[in-house]
Amino acid sequence: MARDFTVGEVAKRAGIAVSALHFYETKGLISSHRTSGNQRRYSSDVLRRVAVIRVAQNLGLPLSVIGRALARLPTGQPSRADWDLLSAEWSLELNERIEKLQRLRDGLSDCIGCGCLSLDKCALVNWGDKLAAEGPGARRLLAERK
Ligand code: FES
């Protein structure tokens, strides 16, 4: 049977600050229970949750997305199927982000429809700032995939 961990043990094992654990807990991303002496304890599954949170943050996923996904996991030790569902959902999100980054990379040196009309190509591609009618921002970069 797996033992419970103190906040310091989790922080050390996960390689993050105790304050980060408290932050994740206030955001509802992880949870703990209290001992009879009112000390905070974490079950072993918190280590995987923290690792997943850190990876997701490094991938640029917002805490709201991470929190929604983790909220759907069962309390205690999630099964492989639970993690597979979460992974599949994030794969879609990450694919969308990758496509946006590729569009950004590929179009950054050309007209991006920002309204500046400063590039020599803008006069042709965004003549008269016609893309402003579509809304604010760099329209060519912000355009959603159709
Ligand atoms: S780059 Fe700004 S409108 Fe074309």
In terms of DSSP bridges, do strands 33-34 and 40-41 run parallel, antiparallel, or are they unpaired? antiparallel
Atom of ligand 1 nearest to the CA of 113: 3
Which of 17-21, 22-26, 60-64 is predicted with the least confidence, judged by mean pLDDT? 60-64
- Centre of ligand 1 to C-alpha 144, Å, is 18
* Reported confidence tier of residue 47, pLDDT bands at 50, 70, 90: very high
State residue 7's pLDDT score: 96
Domain map (residue ranges) of the chain: 1-78, 99-146
* Residue 122, ligand 1, Cβ within 6 A: yes
Which CATH architecture does the domain made up of 1-78 adopt? Orthogonal Bundle (1.10)
Please classify residue 28 by burial: count the beta carbons closer than 10 Å to its beta carbon, then call 0-12 exposed, 13-18 middle and 19+ buried.
exposed
Residues 6+ apart with CB under 8 A from 100: 141
Q: pTM of the full predicted structure? A: 0.69
